[in-house]
Structure 1
Amino acid sequence: MEVPASVAAVVDREFGSDVTAVTRLSGGCKDTYRVDLRARTVVVAFPRATWYERAFALEPALMRLVRTETSLPVPRVLASDVTGETMRPYHVTEYVDAPDLHGRFAASPREAQATLLEAAGRALATLHQEVEFASSGPLRAVDGEVRVEPHASWPAFLAALVEEWVAELDERRFSDLRGTFTTALTPDAFLDVDPNPVCLHFDYAPGNLLARGTELVGVVDWGFAVAGHAEYDLFQFEKNFLLGQVEDRRVRDELRPHVTAGYRERRSLEAGWERRRAFYRVAYKLASMRSFHRWAGDEPAQADALATRLRDELETDLERLRAYE
């Protein structure tokens, strides 16, 4: 068994224990390892790229906050050093012996899918109900505490995100759509909400939810979290599970009520939700196009097909949005 040097250094520093086994886990923006020690099993994670280090530093601070303030099943942070001053930034969490829902959700029986959606909705509503902030904006870790970089309002913060995302659109694939997005996504004119900002996971997807059967036992990957309007998280939850995991439109329509059913048990939706949902569909498409190079894969034919699908979906999303004008 070959133990990566970075893992060995963290284990020696934090536990002074022998490593009995190491397994590389899928980690998205992180290099993540399941590490078996003599007395326990832990997960050791490192930022994979420099651009992710600030988000990586947020994770342990926010996970500790969410564990303290809510009943969400968030893995316990056992150790962290995100400064990078003496060694590679890292954090260590307890290992949750349960698989994530990526792929599993789509393969589950319909009744189990409905139960999982309602459980995930309740968990998301709990997060929004119990972790609030004074303003909308990016979340950052400052001396181990979670802080907001404040914006004047949620629409102002979303407008800043849209401007950033439009500027980062791939020059070859999507640059011709910059004017389309700039015209369509005008939050100050469209979003008539002034919510109390809450913690948005901002990547509430099957791959970040751990489950045993239909019981939700872990919510992971908190690096993209922001403070903002709760409904955007709810919208992402719907899109990530239904459009991302279920190909049959009839099945998506059948399951869609279960997305909000669990959520509504703990938190009500504001008037105008469907209109804002149409707006968020376009914003989400922009976010997907902006990060296309990170998730589309290296196979040119597959990437071309995905880009075409995104463009077709955008046209449909724009039509939905125009219906509210």
Structure 2
Amino acid sequence: MEHPFPLVDPRLAGYLLEPLAGGWSGETFLATPDDAAGTGGANQVVVRYFAGARHAEHAARIQAALLARVRDVLPVPAVLQAHDGDATLPGLLITELVPGERGDLVLARLTAGGAEPGSPAGALGTIGCALGRIAGALATVPMPRTGMFADVTLRIEPFDVSLPDWVDTHAPRLVETGWSDGEIGALRTVAERAARELDGAPACLVHSDLNPKNVLVDPATFEVTGVLDWEFAHAGHPATDLGNLLRFDREPAYVEGVLDGYVTAAGTAGAARGEDADPREPTRRRATELARAADLVALVDLAVRPAANPVVVRAREHLRAIARTGDVHAHPDPRR
């Protein structure tokens, strides 16, 4: 199989690369100095390649700039090196190795009733609150407009996503996966209603892939130790990251924890800036409504991709349940 990254990279001379589990791109590696045998992994770093046309020209350096931008707000790995790609080598980002365990693995143990400190419900609430605080903190990082980051200065190239138009654009692909015209029409009706709910919100920094798989947590305290993979970050709606956190994980204790953390972080950030409480600050119910509405963009995007990983399959199931019921809160499992 042809690899999208170089098997020999002079920028990583003296390092041995081992693929890291968890991502679907196959571009992230643990790099260990080849003379570090028996040192317990000392001086290990994380290497991320940006290979292929799906990445922006300066993707590695844009991500490095984003990590520097949020370092005082969120726990993120320190950037050690960032390289643009050239005619022979792809873009490359090298960061420190952050301690912690992937959040999705911790959540899987908790929801399966595995042995963790405290009761499973209490632990789910604790980890949910920690993740919600991350989404709440991001929602308070203001951006001048919605759009994608175009260069290393984080200049924003504006874009406007109309949810109904988004559905129309992706409708042919949904039909290819078996959707009927009636289902497409029902989804468009949901999108029209969601667009009205989302209209008028100020733009903020959006991670756009903020799910437990991209977050490291301390497995003992459930505090977040690192927010990873900023590939899809942009300036967008404040409820987007909350929607991602609540998309698939619907256990009540977890959901309540996420909402607690989200609302608390948003309020604390405002108070720190000397702002009065915003009377328009969404209640927990309102925050959930906006989160589900904002997440429709990602669900549609995921649902039309080739079903090569479980996330796409789950997104298709969720989106179809939403179209079938006309309810953004719908879940394929009616018990949730």
Bin of the TM-score, shorter chain as denominator length: 0.7 to 0.9
Q: Which segment is superposed worse, 70-79 or 217-226?
A: 70-79
Q: Using a 3 Å threshold, how does the CA distance of structure 1 residues 296 and 123 change in structure 2: closer, same or farther? A: closer
Q: Answer whether contact 2:127 2:254 (CA < 8 A) is retained.
A: no
Which one-letter code corresponds to 1:190 in the other structure? R
Could you tell me how far 1:85 is from its partner in structure 2? 3.8
Give the 3-state SS of the residue equivalent to 2:48 in structure 1.
Answer: strand
Q: 2:66 maps to which residue?
A: 62
Tell me, in whole angstroms, the C-alpha distance in 1 between the residues paired with 2:81 and 2:27: 16
Tell me, in whole angstroms, the C-alpha distance in 2 between the residues paired with 1:151 and 1:5: 34
Tell me, in whole angstroms, the C-alpha distance in 2 between the residues paired with 1:288 and 1:53: 20
1:119-198 aligned at under 5 Å gives the runs: 119-129=130-140, 131-140=141-150, 142=151, 144-151=152-159, 156=161, 158=163, 161-166=166-171, 168-169=173-174, 171-174=176-179, 176=181, 177-186=183-192, 190-191=196-197, 193-198=199-204
Q: Which segment is superposed worse, 71-80 or 44-53?
A: 44-53
Could you tell me how far 1:107 is from its partner in structure 2? 0.9
Aligned residues, how many?
Answer: 290
1:63-99 Cα deviation digits (max 9, x unpaired): 22222xx331111111112333452221111111322
TM, length-normalised to structure 1 = 0.76
Q: Answer whether contact 2:303 2:319 (CA < 8 A) is retained.
A: no
Q: Which of 252, 262, 270 is residue 282 of structure 2 equivalent to? A: 270
Tell me, in whole angstroms, the C-alpha distance in 2 between the residues paired with 1:162 and 1:312: 13
Could you tell me how far 1:312 is from its partner in structure 2? 5.0
Could you tell me how far 1:316 is from its partner in structure 2? 5.4
Q: Using a 3 Å threshold, how does the CA distance of structure 1 residues 73 and 160 change in structure 2: closer, same or farther? A: farther
The yes-or-no answer on 1:76 pairing with 2:78 is yes
Could you tell me how far 1:183 is from its partner in structure 2? 3.5
Q: Using a 3 Å threshold, how does the CA distance of structure 1 residues 72 and 308 change in structure 2: closer, same or farther? A: closer
Q: Which of 12, 18, 22 is residue 17 of structure 2 equivalent to? A: 22
Which one-letter code corresponds to 2:90 in the other structure? R
Which one-letter code corresponds to 1:35 in the other structure? A
Q: 2:96 maps to which residue?
A: 94
1:110-125 aligned at under 5 Å gives the runs: 110-125=121-136
Q: Which one has the bigger helix percentage? A: 1
Q: 1:103 maps to which residue?
A: 105
Q: 2:232 maps to which residue?
A: 224
- How large is the Cα RMSD of the aligned pairs? 3.3
**Unmatched segments (≥5 aa) in structure 1:** 13-17, 244-251
Q: Which of 40, 43, 46 is residue 40 of structure 1 equivalent to? A: 43
Which one-letter code corresponds to 2:122 in the other structure? E
Tell me, in whole angstroms, the C-alpha distance in 2 between the residues paired with 1:204 and 1:263: 13
Identity %: 23
Tell me, in whole angstroms, the C-alpha distance in 2 between the residues paired with 1:73 and 1:163: 38
**Unmatched segments (≥5 aa) in structure 2:** 37-41, 111-119, 268-280, 331-336
1:4-51 Cα deviation digits (max 9, x unpaired): 854642213xxxxx23x4321123224111011256211111135422
Q: 2:115 maps to which residue?
A: none
Q: Which segment is superposed worse, 76-85 or 283-292?
A: 283-292
Tell me, in whole angstroms, the C-alpha distance in 1 between the residues paired with 2:137 and 2:225: 14
Tell me, in whole angstroms, the C-alpha distance in 2 between the residues paired with 1:201 and 1:7: 31
Q: Using a 3 Å threshold, how does the CA distance of structure 1 residues 258 and 234 change in structure 2: closer, same or farther? A: same
Tell me, in whole angstroms, the C-alpha distance in 2 between the residues paired with 1:187 and 1:84: 45
Give the 3-state SS of the residue equivalent to 2:132 in structure 1.
Answer: helix
Give the 3-state SS of the residue equivalent to 1:78 in structure 2.
Answer: strand
